[in-house]
Structure 1
Amino acid sequence: QGVLVCSVDAPGLATAGTGDVLTGVVASFLSKGLDPRTAAAAAATAHGVAAGCVPQAAGTIASDVVAALPLALA
């Protein structure tokens, strides 16, 4: 099936808890019936886009990414 690459640049995700957020997004997409490969790809993209929506003035924390997910998915 080939390799999927997420090209979203989100260095702010290199902080505690953001991997847990990504896991939750993957799980939510799986619960909606997406196949695992598509769920992982969509979650990685949404996760990165959400991180990009967070103002960088004070640094990114996991709850900032969660709060930005609705905007990223709109």
Structure 2
Amino acid sequence: MAKFSPSLVASNLKGYVNSKGNAGLATAGSGDVLTGIIASLIAQGYALDDAALIAMFVHGKAADQLAKSISQRGMIASDLLYKIGRIFSDYEL
């Protein structure tokens, strides 16, 4: 996984691009939140590749929703936590 804009995941000679996310993710702790999502999904039985792809989408989607409500500049990592559960619910992930 490479946290760029857009983010990238490479797996088994396949590449995936995630268009979700924004500059608000360039803040201290954002990567820790992403890692926590991945670890949680793996603990629930998801394969590493699937966990990384789902986490990358959810993380970016949370940032996009926050950018609309509080702006990219005002975003901190803990703000993401309030959106993540809702996104899992909305997408039935």
CA distance in 1, matches of 2:17, 2:77: 22
Aligned twin of 2:35: 23
2:65 counterpart of 1:50 = no
2:24 counterpart of 1:9 = no
Q: Deviations over 1:1-37 (max 9, x none)?
A: 4112111132210111000000000000101111101
Structure 2 length-normalised TM: 0.72
Aligned twin of 1:68: 83
Structure 1 length-normalised TM: 0.89
Q: Which runs of 4+ in 1 moved over 6 A?
A: none
2:63 counterpart of 1:59 = no
Secondary structure of the equivalent of 2:15?
Answer: coil
Letter aligned with residue 76 of structure 2: I
Pick which of 27-36 and 7-16 moved more. Answer: 7-16
| Structure 1 unaligned blocks of 5 or more | none
Alpha carbon RMSD of aligned pairs, Å? 1.4
Sequence identity (%): 39
| Structure 2 unaligned blocks of 5 or more | 1-11
- Bigger strand fraction: 2
- Bigger helix fraction: 1
Indicate the structure whose relative CO is greater, using CA pairs within 8 Å and at least 6 residues apart: 1
Pick which of 3-12 and 16-25 moved more. Answer: 3-12
CA distance in 2, matches of 1:13, 1:21: 10
CA distance in 2, matches of 1:52, 1:72: 11
Q: Number of paired residues?
A: 74
CA distance in 2, matches of 1:44, 1:9: 9
